[in-house]
Structure 1
Amino acid sequence: MLPTANRNSTHLAGEYFVAAELYRRGYSVAMTLGNAKAIDLFAESEGRTVNVQVKAIAKRQNVGWPIMRDKVLPGIVYVFVCLNAPPAGPSYFIATSAEARRKVKQYATRGIIDLTTLRDPQFIDRWDKVESA
């Protein structure tokens, strides 16, 4: 069982896991620093850079990832991470900006992308979307 994690630690862990996955796939990865940033990672391969935004939740019991529709920006690949409890590893759901924008349930003061809407082969471990971005 995961210890109780705060939101910042969960997000940072998600960024590191995504950076490691991108590195395994041949990318050089740079992390941006600070809160409220639009891009978390720059992934470079063969002279081409991809902008990556990471959203992370600690466990499957979480409903999903908070995100406002107007904060989903074009030209960014969105990687939604569920860290999961050990011994399971993280789950990755990858979306283009257009796909992420369509998945946002927007309310008056908040937005969310439900975990259940991304549990689909269109999103699960779709690292090829980084390559084609």
Structure 2
Amino acid sequence: MPVRTNNIVGVTGEYYVSAELGKRGILALITPKNNPLFDIVAVSADATQIVSIQVKTMSERNQQGWKLGKDICTLKNNPNLFVVLVNLTGSEVEYYIYDYDTLSSRVQDVYSRYLAKPKRDGTRRKDVDFRWYDFTEFSEDDYQRKNNWSLLGF
């Protein structure tokens, strides 16, 4: 299989999410690249509900999980903002759907625990500009989000 670049992986995830929304009768509009907060605007068929979705995609090249910017840990207090974590590592695409602030709090908790553990040599870990989120940190709540598109409220 050809190697996909990070950009191709990200765009692939956005199109997969858009297709899943379309299958459910939801209009999905992919935003221009480099929009910092969301990648997709999703609109109900009757235009009464609109949500914004940030898509993060993990491919077979990335076994560490989803790499997120440190800004994911900043709460947005926006009930119409969501994140979909896309897993392309298996034979079936998986989607984990979160409201932004729930994932934000979850990632911050995982990262705080990571920083609290000293490195192998006993020294403190340094703060970095990214956060990893992977299956080793998943709770039962995370697994219940798998392919649970109803969490978007449509």
1:69 positional shift? 4.5
1:93 equivalent in alignment to 2:113: no
What do residues 38-88 of structure 1 show as CA deviations (whole Å, max 9, x unaligned)? 110000002211100100011285211111343353431110001135xx2
CA distance in 1, matches of 2:136, 2:85: 12
TM-score (norm 1): 0.83
CA distance in 1, matches of 2:93, 2:42: 19
Distance 1:128 1:69, change over 3 A: farther
Q: Which runs of 5+ in 2 are unaligned?
A: 116-126
TM-score (norm 2): 0.73
In structure 2, give the amino acid aligned to 1:55.
K
Q: From 119, 123, 128, give the equivalent of 2:145.
A: 123
| Structure-to-structure mapping, 1:1-133, within 5 angstroms | 2-35=1-34, 37-45=36-44, 46-47=46-47, 48-59=49-60, 62-71=63-72, 73-75=76-78, 76-85=81-90, 88-104=91-107, 105-106=110-111, 108-109=127-128, 110-118=130-138, 120-131=142-153
Structure with larger Rg: 2
- Which runs of at least 4 in structure 1 moved beyond 6 Å after TM superposition? none
Do the aligned residues in 2 keep the contact of 1:77 with 1:129 (CA within 8 Å)? Answer: no
Size of the aligned set, in residue pairs, is 129
In structure 2, give the amino acid aligned to 1:102.
S
Q: Which runs of 5+ in 1 are unaligned?
A: none
Q: Whose helix proportion is higher, 1 or 2?
A: 2
1:121 positional shift? 3.3
Q: Whose strand proportion is higher, 1 or 2?
A: 1
Kindly report the root-mean-square deviation, in angstroms, between the aligned alpha carbons of the 2 structures.
2.2
